[in-house]
Amino acid sequence: MASLQETFAKRQNESANQINNLYDKQAQAQAASLKADYDKNLSDRQAALGQISPQYQNQANNLAANYERQRRNANMGAMTSGLGSGTALQQQTSLSNRWLQNYGDLRAEEAGKINEANQGIADLKISYNNALVKARADADIKRDQALINAYNQNQNWYDQQAANLANYGNFDAYKQLYGEAQANNMRNTWISQNPDVALRSGMISREDYKKLTGKDPQFQSVY
């Protein structure tokens, strides 16, 4: 038959295993959920990033086509109106400068959008990692509290069993709790309060009984 200490250890191991298995499964499920959200958001952001350059290239193409159209129209206008070469050159220079300015502004805006998108992806990963760390920390706090509660419950069970045994003069469980000296003191106190039971159970001799009670026992010990 298993001792009280062995039973307590078994109960404690079973409780700890159940709690750890439960929180391991919860942690895995939460991590999987966070990963799924991260993957979706990352995919959306990467898709948006991939669209930036084509969109701005389309605008650049339109800008170039518009510039070429304006340049040709200016040349035709100069020819038909009889403008001098100096005036025509000024118009061409003005158109060219405006084109370069617009083109530079467009590419700068594109670079800004790309940087912004890349930063968003970097921030998303940081947020995901932070969420993982927080989830683990929160789960560990709950796990530890559950383990503490289970230990206290098992300890209360042990204390109750030890008290039940002590009612019958068995202080072995208390020896595990408080040490041999303390358990012996408790045992001696119990014997002094229950000499008849102690004699019948063989915990003390007839001589010890007489010392405790000052009289001879009226019965024989079964031991």
pLDDT digits (tens, 9 = 90+) for 7-25: 889 999 999 999 999 999 9
End-to-end, the C-alpha distance of the chain in Å comes to 22
Exposure letters 102-136 (e unless 16+ CB within 10 A, then b): beeebeeebeebeeebeeeeeebeeebeebbeebe
Residue whose pair of structure tokens reads 């560990």 in the numeric block? 140
Cα separation, 188 vs 184, in Å, equals 6
Tens digits of residue pLDDT in 127-161 = 999 999 999 999 999 999 999 999 999 989 988 88
Instruction: Please report the pLDDT score of residue 161 as a whole number.
Output: 83
pTM for this prediction? 0.68
Tens digits of residue pLDDT in 53-71 = 999 999 999 999 988 888 7
The first and second tokens of residue 43, run together, are 């995919």
Instruction: Please report the pLDDT score of residue 87 as a whole number.
Output: 63
Element (H, E) at 53: helix 4-81
DSSP for residue 198: H
